[in-house]
A and B are shown apart, each in its own frame.
Chain A
């Protein structure tokens, strides 16, 4: 019996990879749904946006590179579509160096999906044309994100005299009278790196606007203290956070689709962790016995 568990300890890791690939592909192809338990920290972001009156401005910072796209893109799609269905205006920035092109593509994709009528949570939303400068303003990228965040606190025009497409901010209808964070209902930072720290310290810390975070799974655990201290009002962690938002917004997308795979992949990993640990303790016991 011991030898089976000990074999698990010595198992070539490539067999585990192969098993994970098989399980993940099977779970992706099998069409069934799993329930998504909504956590308070995600619900608070949804409720905040849902309670805003039409015409209010939400600042969404798409601060991630394509390597974090898998976890953070579903959040962007779900939140931005929710904002636009509620007739909110959105200011975008992309302060991660490899992100602006990807962010621009995402904005175009979501704009396209807004053209059709859709029903969310039993409410029918008529399709409409999303116009640059009217429904959104994409500021783009500028280096040294800490200074950019501080600069926007004085005036968006300081770091961004023009938007991503080269149009002066003053000539965009939605930016008339919009000077700095004071005219923004909240900032939602979707980030896969240290830009989040800059938004907390140089943004929320200095200017005091409501801040919510959407983070990669790797980062999530270390940002929970800011939730308890009230420095952020919401937190979405990894694909689970995105799936929760999609579920709340009744807009199932890639995140909910991926949670099925997550469930089975986690089961496989937990199985191997348990087996490896049993093997470890069994081998320790055997060693002790042999010594006696």
Chain B
């Protein structure tokens, strides 16, 4: 690994620690890391959009035309139309001419809606309805024997059918939730809660995964930066490691200072009380 890559790895470790320092409380290191992410993401996106959107889809298409003919003599002059529509969006910056931006907006929303509505209806509503209505009890206990986790089993079909009906009944407010209707609505709440529980479980796993990834990256950095004998790796300059650990020390000292302040203010408050 070359020194530049190692330098970026080290910076990554520092930013990781700065980000996790927020778990104690908001602080300048966290703010630095947060602003860095937002700034870098926005900057990267602008460049990507320029090179992958505007250059190949507009400038290269009109490249064989001349500016004094307003590129109308290019081989694909119709690309001027979306360019003009795009520029009309900028009229939103003027109070007087902001209404002009409605034209490109209307076109954009019209096209998007025209494409999206039929496909969305078909995909998210019709196909889901068919799948719920075609109740099949084949392989009731799961494929290949007894498998309660099999999403294709007859039991899964039955659970989905009952769950969908009961959840829909819970959201039916034109009849009081009493008697058998109320009991089915209760089953609907249970179905929803189980759904939310599954989402929560997966979310916990997702958050821990992020932390695991950070541990792995810090560990990888450690393996590169330090030999197994816990000596600084001679391939990388020792002063650099000193600077890095200095930065870590600053974060740690800051957190300790905050903790001490927290307890001293707490004890002062108790004394005053």
Binding site for B on A (CB under 8 A): 14, 17, 20-21, 24-25, 28, 39-41, 65, 69-71, 97-98, 100-101, 140-143, 146-147, 150, 161-162, 200-202, 204-206, 216-222, 224-225, 227-231, 237-240, 254, 257-258, 261-262, 265-266, 269
Contacts and interface: CB of A to CB of B under 8 A. Distances in A.
Interface string B175-216: 000000000000000000001001100111110111111111
A237 B131 contact: no
B213 A69 contact: yes
A97 B49 contact: yes
A286 B170 CA distance: 33
B24 A217 contact: no
Contacts of A229: 127-128, 130-131
A227 B151 CA distance: 8
A20 B208 CA distance: 9
B209 A140 contact: no
Contacts, number: 144
Contact of B123 (A205, A220, A224): A205
Contacts of A161: 56
A231 B152 contact: no
Contact of A200 (B23, B123, B156): B123
A211 B133 CA distance: 23
Nearest to A254: B216
B119 A225 contact: no
B122 to A, nearest CB: 6
Contacts of A147: 115
Contacts of B203: 217-218
Interface of B: 23-24, 41, 44-45, 48-49, 52-53, 56-57, 112, 115-116, 119-120, 122-124, 127-128, 130-131, 143, 147, 149-152, 156-157, 160, 195, 198-199, 202-206, 208-216, 219
Shortest beta-carbon contacts, A-B, top 6: A217-B206, A70-B213, A229-B131, A258-B212, A205-B123, A217-B202
A31 B165 CA distance: 48
A206 B127 CA distance: 12
| Main DSSP-derived SS at the A contact region | helix
Interface centre among B49, B130, B212 (most CB of A within 10 A): B212
A262 B150 CA distance: 23
Contact of B131 (A142, A217, A230, A238): A230
B116 A146 contact: yes
A217 B205 contact: yes
A238 B212 contact: no
A98 to B, nearest CB: 6
A218 B53 contact: no
8 contacts: A40-B152, A70-B213, A146-B116, A229-B130, A231-B123, A258-B213, A265-B208, A266-B208
Contacts of A140: 52
Contact of B49 (A143, A206, A224, A237): A143
B119 A202 contact: yes
B123 A261 contact: no
A201 B116 contact: yes
A272 B190 CA distance: 23
A237 B202 contact: yes
Nearest to A266: B204
A97 B131 contact: no
A228 B156 CA distance: 9
A280 B151 CA distance: 35
Given A100-B48, A221-B199, 18 more contacts: A70-B209, A70-B210, A97-B44, A97-B48, A100-B52, A146-B115, A146-B116, A205-B122, A221-B198, A225-B131, A228-B131, A228-B160, A229-B130, A231-B123, A239-B206, A262-B205, A265-B208, A266-B204
Contacts of A228: 131, 151-152, 156-157, 160
